[in-house]
Amino acid sequence: MTETTTKTPGLRASLPEFRWAGVERRAYKDEASAPYKGVTRQTLASDPRLAGELRYFEVEPSGYTTLERHEHMHAVMILTGAGSVLVGDEVFAVNPNDLVNIASWTWHQFRAGPDGKLGFLCLVDAERDRPRLPTREDLDVLRAAPAIARFLDGAPS
Ligand code: MN
């Protein structure tokens, strides 16, 4: 039997304020190429032997993630706070333990409410395509639905 070396520790202990031992809190995106406001990212699980990655994102009050779509899917579990999410042509209010499923090529965006942050776990493929941003025409189509227009304008849900 051969010993294998693992770079991933068996436990990353929970710390106060939705932090985990040994996990860095980083900016949401590597580049400032996409619009977003007040979002941080912690990569909780990422390993060449895993086909997926588990990340924790935190959105500050009235902040929002990038409005985007892509081939890869997301499974998101809200951990803390409250806010709203756009999934395709629907807007949902979200609270802790709600599960949000985002299918391929579905427009999506998360927004924190004005009174507190929104924190959520996000499961994705480790190898994934680049997110696409909406064109002017895409935004016109989305905004034709009043609920989506209110969501995109940051109106309280
Ligand atoms: Mn996405």
Q: How confident is the model at residue 76 (pLDDT cuts 50, 70, 90)?
A: very high
d(CA 3, CA 77): 35
In this structure, the number of other CB atoms found within 10 A of the CB of residue 6 comes to: 9
Mean pLDDT of the chain: 93
Catalogue the active-site residues: 122
26-44 pLDDT, tens digit each: 988 755 678 999 999 999 9
Tell me the percentage of the chain whose pLDDT exceeds 70.
Answer: 92
Ligand 1 center from residue 5 Cα (angstroms): 32
Indicate the helix (H) or strand (E) that contains 142.
Answer: helix 136-143
Q: Residue 116 gets which letter from DSSP?
A: S
- C-alpha of residue 140 to centroid of ligand 1, in Å: 20
What is the Å distance from ligand 1's center to 3 Cα? Answer: 38
Residues above pLDDT 90, as percent of the chain: 86
Q: Give the mean model confidence (pLDDT) for residues 111-126.
A: 96
Cα of 70 from ligand 1 centre, angstroms: 7
The predicted model scores a pTM of 0.92
In sign, the C-alpha dihedral spanning 153, 140, 129, 108 is positive
Residues 6+ apart with CB under 8 A from 52: 45, 123, 124, 125, 126
Q: How many CB atoms lie within 10 A of CB 83?
A: 27
Helix (H, G, I), strand (E, B) or coil at 138: helix
Cα–Cα separations (whole angstroms), residue 66 to 35, 92, 104: 6, 17, 16
The residue to which tokens 């436990």 are assigned: 11
